[in-house]
Structure 1
Amino acid sequence: MNITVFCSAAALDDRYTAPARDFARALGERGHTLVWGGSFAGLMGVVADEAKAAGAKLVGISVEMLAHKAYSGADELVTTANLAERKAQLLERADALVVLVGGLGTLDEVTEVLELKKHGLHDKPVVLLDTDGFYDGMRTQLRRMDQEGFLPRPLDELVRFAPDGATALRYAEEAVDGSADDAVSASA
């Protein structure tokens, strides 16, 4: 399975890097492909290094303005002209999307994929790894949007929050396996 990971390119302390490493290691050990922003910087590099060490194939989707930070050990590295093309490629290549901690770029990526999913333009699972309560505020806001009628489909159909990397990976795998089972049932 291709798992697109959105996360920070900033260097972060161990309370954020340790759960990201655990997730990336499990991703590789379970035979999945890491699709990510293609950078060696910060948490992106930590995730790529750990996934690769655990046997994952790495597909990096970089952008021209950040080409100087491209990860040299990727199995495939694509460089897009701009951030919009990068986000489109990250989504297109994903079977599932997992969001680790990040800043404005990560927030932009996750809100875009949720908006597209809300409109039925994809139905790929989106899982937020809520390390150390990092996404508590986002969860509160999304619940309010759901409760007050701003979302056309239930919140739990749009996104799931996971307390740790193993759970995030399990949610992604179950959602993809479940949709494959649904497709077989629908065609039978």
Structure 2
Amino acid sequence: MENIRSLCVYCGSSGRVNPAYKQAARALGERMAKAGIELVYGGGKVGLMGEAADAALSAGGRVTGIIPRHLMRLEVGHGGATELIVVETMHERKMIMFERSDAFIVLPGGLGTLDETFEMATWRQLKLHAKPIIVIDVKGYWTPLQSMIEHMIAEGFVNEQHRALLRFVPDIDAAFAVLAEVPEPIPGPEVKWQ
């Protein structure tokens, strides 16, 4: 897994969730730190985001958060991150997260998590990058999304080959097994905001 030096983790900022989701976030942060993989994420100290960051930091890992200034004003930024990058817009945030990461892992989350995940999937579909996008289906949280993708394929809106844009796995061990298979990264076209 020497080709994976940093992972972008997309996950929810809500703390009012099933404790199993929080446990998965902590376990992922700790596993990344022990593997020497930097955690790149949205910079929050709340919800699953905070759980993953805190666990990585407690295990001696490096954590880079990218957060828009308006969220910093709401005091949700993680002051203990190894590096906290404050940006002006959500677009900047997502671009830096993309640039700083070798792959993406998706934990349970809400609309923001879906937004980030599908932007990276769309970019991959357009061959703007070849970075893996791994969705960890904690307690079946993402099973309805898998069904929706199958429905989109059946209705002709998504090409069958694009089913593989998102790799659904049951747990963290399976996610790391997928990462271990990643070949030398293939550079894609440079992505620029217009």
TM-score, scaled to structure 2: 0.86
Please tell me the residue identity of whatever aligns with 2:109. Answer: G
Question: Given that residues 125 and 162 in structure 2 are in contact (C-alpha distance below 8 angstroms), is that contact kept between their aligned partners in structure 1?
Answer: no
Q: Which residue is 1:171 aligned to? A: 178
- Pairs aligned (count): 180
1:172-187 matches, within 5 Å, as 172-175=179-182, 178-180=183-185
Q: Which residue is 1:19 aligned to? A: 24
- The CA distance in 1 between the partners of 2:124 and 2:92, in whole Å, is 18
1:95-114 matches, within 5 Å, as 95-114=102-121
Question: Given that residues 13 and 46 in structure 2 are in contact (C-alpha distance below 8 angstroms), is that contact kept between their aligned partners in structure 1?
Answer: yes
Deviation at 1:169, TM superposition (A): 2.5
- The CA distance in 2 between the partners of 1:104 and 1:43, in whole Å, is 14
Match of 1:126 among 126, 133, 137: 133
Q: Which consecutive residues of structure 1, in runs of 5 or more, have no partner in the other structure?
A: 184-188
- The CA distance in 2 between the partners of 1:151 and 1:123, in whole Å, is 18
Deviation at 1:137, TM superposition (A): 1.2
Deviation at 1:129, TM superposition (A): 0.8
Match of 1:37 among 42, 48, 59: 42
Matched, 1:74 2:88: no
- SS of equivalent residue, structure 1 residue 170: helix
Q: Which consecutive residues of structure 2, in runs of 5 or more, have no partner in the other structure?
A: 188-194
Matched, 1:3 2:14: no
Q: Which residue is 1:86 aligned to? A: 93
Match of 1:155 among 162, 165, 182: 162
Deviates more, 1:3-12 or 1:135-144: 135-144
Please tell me the residue identity of whatever aligns with 2:69. Answer: E
Judged with a 3 Å threshold, the aligned counterparts in structure 2 of structure 1 residues 48 and 143 are, in CA distance, closer, same or farther, namely same
Match of 1:116 among 119, 123, 128: 123
Judged with a 3 Å threshold, the aligned counterparts in structure 2 of structure 1 residues 81 and 134 are, in CA distance, closer, same or farther, namely same
- The CA distance in 2 between the partners of 1:119 and 1:87, in whole Å, is 17
Deviates more, 1:57-66 or 1:6-15: 6-15
Pairwise CA RMSD of aligned residues? 1.8
- SS of equivalent residue, structure 2 residue 144: helix
Higher relative helix content = 1
Please tell me the residue identity of whatever aligns with 2:129. Answer: H
Q: Which runs of 4+ in 1 moved over 4 A?
A: none
Question: Given that residues 12 and 49 in structure 2 are in contact (C-alpha distance below 8 angstroms), is that contact kept between their aligned partners in structure 1?
Answer: yes
